Each structure stands twice: as structure tokens, then as C-alpha cells.
Structure 1
Amino acid sequence: MQAYEFINNLIPPLKFTDKAKMALSWMEEIRTNVLPVVDQGQFKGLITDELIYTLNNPEMGIAEIEPEGLGCFVYQDKHIYDVMRVASEYHTNMVAVVDRELHYLGVVTLEDAISAFADSLSIQSQGSVLVLSMNMTDYSMFEISRIIEGENAKILSSFISSDPLDIHKIKLTLKLDKTELRHIKATLERFGYRLIDHYDEEIETSGEQDRIGNLLRFLDI
């Protein structure tokens, strides 16, 4: 799950000697709104179609345009999670990958990162999703796992996020291997856990969009 494993080789980097009109042509061809800029093997940032349109000079050289997101990169040995974190930080759907000497290796798209993340979280496995709200001090995965396994179910994956309504609480999202949640929900509530949402997943899903949709629902985005 390291970043270099998910480099998208179909996305070409722009050179300083290229022109803005070439960048727009490439963006249209590969259906993206952003491309990396590389000079002498070094990542120099990202150029968006919005930036080019704002300058309104298709003959302008890439060297004359100041790229954005100079820090929008991860090292090749970083986890795919870091790709998603950096993409979110820079509000972009593309993150550069470099080695430890900062040599450019390629880019990972947000779509590819999400697909990899979905695979790692067993998103495609049949089951259901539970969302619990609790104080951080009350969080114990060992205890929660014990309760759920007592109902002959298993946790396939879990995700913790902060509760936007209460800074002292967290939301714990659990992917379970069971579609029937009635007894599990009752048992968790009996032990004092507060359930704020649940999702019964469809049995038949296929395709990239289904997988990404399931991931976003799992992450509660």
C-alpha cells in the first residue's frame, strides 16, 4: 500500500519548455483539470486549467506560470493514506510522488487512492456498517470487539473521526460481516454505547463507482 505502487503512468508531467495551450490539450485528452510540472527531474508544483484560463495567454510558456502546490507530494514509501491526506490538504485530485532525493516519480490520482483505500478496508465485502458516538476516554476496540463477537459477528474494518458537534466525542464507524444488525445493535445499546447510524449494504454491487460510493458512505463523507 505504498504510494509508488499506485502511480498513474497515463498522466504526463509538463516541462518548462511546454506551452499553456499544450497543457490544456493534455488536460482535455486525459480528462483532468490539473497536471504536475517537472523541471530537471524535480517536482515544481501543479498547474490547473483555471490558472491558465485566468492568464488568458495560450502561447505562454509553462516556465512563465507560477505553479501551485509545491508541497503537494509524498515520498514513494509513504502509505496510500498519506496521499489522501495531502490531496485533502491541497484541495486537489492529484498528488506527486518523489523519492528521498526529491526526484519526481509520477502522480497518484485521488480516484486511484480511494480505490486502493477501499480495497484495504474490505469495502467490497458483504455486510453492514454501524456508526457509534462516544467519548474518546470510553473508546476500547477490545471491549467493542468482544461484544460484537459475542453476537457471532466480526469487525472487518474500523474508522475513527472527530464528532463535528462535540469536540470531546468521536465517531466510530464499523464494517461488520453480518447484514442482520438487530441483535448487535441491542447488545451494544445494553452496554451503554450510543448508535447514531447504520447502513445495510446491498448484496450485489459492481464497478469502480459502486466501490467508491461504498467507501464514501463508510467514511461518512
Structure 2
Amino acid sequence: MQAYEFINNMIPPLKFTDKVKMALSWMEEIRTNVLPVVHEGQFRGLVTDEQIYNLNNPDLTIQEVEMESEACFVYKDKHIYDVLRVASEFQSNMVAVIDREGVYHGVITLEDAISAFADTLSIQSQGGVLILSMYMTDYSLYEIARVIESENAKILSSFISNDPLDDSKIKVTLKVDKSELRHIKATLERFGYKVIDHYQEEPSTSGEHDRLGNLLRFLDI
């Protein structure tokens, strides 16, 4: 799942010589509010429709617009995880893809990245999601897995994030292969783990909405 596999070829890059009114026309046509800017084969940043509207001069060229998010890129051999990380870091719906020589190859939209992640086996598999809160020094996936496996369940995927309610702790989000979580939750708590939330998934019919919902629950968004 390397980044170059998910480049969206429908999104054209802007050149320094392009007029901003053309950029707005492209944005409207492909229904986006941001486009990449490329000069001499190098990624130079992103331009948003808000920037252009604030300038209030349709005859300006892209070169005259102050570029944003020049570091909003990933190398083409990076994993799709890195695309999601960079998109989150820059609060952007689009991430550029370049090679190790800095040559621009295209962009990946946040929607494409989420769809790619949602298509992974661990997200689509039926099961449940548990969210634990703990200190980083107490985190051991091996020990957590051992407790969960004692209930004849397995961890399909795990995800660590900062606990917004306590900077000294982390949240550990676990996808397990069992939909019934009552016994697993009780066993974890018996071993001293704090389970702050859980989601028991029902068998679903298929569809993009179901996969996206599973992903957002997994990431605890």
C-alpha cells in the first residue's frame, strides 16, 4: 500500500504562469477547494480557493499567490498511513507525492486515502473495537494480546493516539475478531486495563458508507 499506488490522476497541477481565475475554474470543475502547484517538475505547495478569493484579482498568476503547505507531501514509496498522517498534520484534503529526487508525481486526496485504508482486511473484517486508556510506560501490545487471546479472540489491528483528556496518557484502539465484547472487556478490566469505550459491530450489508463508518470508529474520529 505505497503512496504512488493511490495517486489521483484526475487532479491537474497548476503552473506558476497559470491565472488564478483558471485555478478557480478547475477547482469548480473537479469539485475541490485546493490544487497543487508545480514548477519545473518540483512541488511548490498548495493553493486554496480562499486564498484566491481574498486576493480579489482574477488576472493574477499563481506565482503571485503565497504558497501554503510546501511540506505537505510524502515520498512515493511511503505507506498510506503516512498520507493520513501528513493530511492530518496540515489539515489538508490533499497530499502531494514526490520521489526521493523531489520530482512531483501527483496527489492523493484524503478521500482516496481513507478509502484505501478502509479496504484493508482488518477494517472490513467483522468484529468489535475496544479503546483503552493507559500510560505509555504501561503499554505492551504483547500483554494486551495475551489477555484478549485468553478469551479466544485475536487482535486484527491496533492504533495509538494521544489522550486529549490527559496529556500523560495514550489511547489504544484495538480491532478484534469478535463482535461480542462483554467478556473481553471484563477480562481486560480484571487485569487492570481501563476500557474507556467499545463498539460492537453488527453484520453489515456492504457499501462505502459501512466501510467508512468502520474506519472512523477504528481511528476513534
TM-score normalised to structure 1 length: 0.94
Distance in 2, matches of 1:23 and 1:208, equals 30
User: For the Cα contact (< 8 Å) 2:179–2:202, is it kept in 1?
Assistant: no
Q: Residue 73 of structure 2 aligns with which residue? A: 73
- Say which SS state the counterpart of residue 124 (structure 2) adopts: coil
Distance in 1, matches of 2:174 and 2:109, equals 26
| Aligned-residue offset at 1:100 | 1.2
| Aligned-residue offset at 1:166 | 2.0
- Say which SS state the counterpart of residue 45 (structure 1) adopts: strand
Tell whether 2:118 aligns with 1:118: yes
What residue identity is the alignment partner of 1:175?
A: K
Between 5-14 and 184-193, the greater mean CA deviation after superposition: 184-193
- Say which SS state the counterpart of residue 122 (structure 1) adopts: helix
Map 1:172-211 to 2 at 5 A.
172-211=172-211
Map 1:23-172 to 2 at 5 A.
23-120=23-120, 122-172=122-172
What residue identity is the alignment partner of 1:91?
A: Q
Distance in 2, matches of 1:167 and 1:69, equals 27
| Aligned-residue offset at 1:187 | 1.3
| Aligned-residue offset at 1:84 | 1.5
Unaligned 5+ segments in structure 1 are none
Distance in 2, matches of 1:119 and 1:193, equals 30
User: For the Cα contact (< 8 Å) 1:121–1:157, is it kept in 2?
Assistant: no
| Aligned-residue offset at 1:151 | 1.0
| Aligned-residue offset at 1:121 | 6.3
- Say which SS state the counterpart of residue 58 (structure 2) adopts: coil
User: What is the count of residue pairs matched by the alignment?
Assistant: 221
TM-score normalised to structure 2 length: 0.94
What residue identity is the alignment partner of 1:84?
A: L
Distance in 1, matches of 2:28 and 2:145, equals 49
User: For the Cα contact (< 8 Å) 2:131–2:198, is it kept in 1?
Assistant: yes
| Aligned-residue offset at 1:205 | 4.5
C-alpha deviations, 1:23-68, integer Å up to 9, x for none?
1111111110000011111111111000111111122222222221
What is the RMSD computed on CA atoms of the aligned residues?
A: 1.4
C-alpha deviations, 1:137-187, integer Å up to 9, x for none?
222211211111111111111111121222222211111111111211111
- Say which SS state the counterpart of residue 122 (structure 2) adopts: coil
Unaligned 5+ segments in structure 2 are none
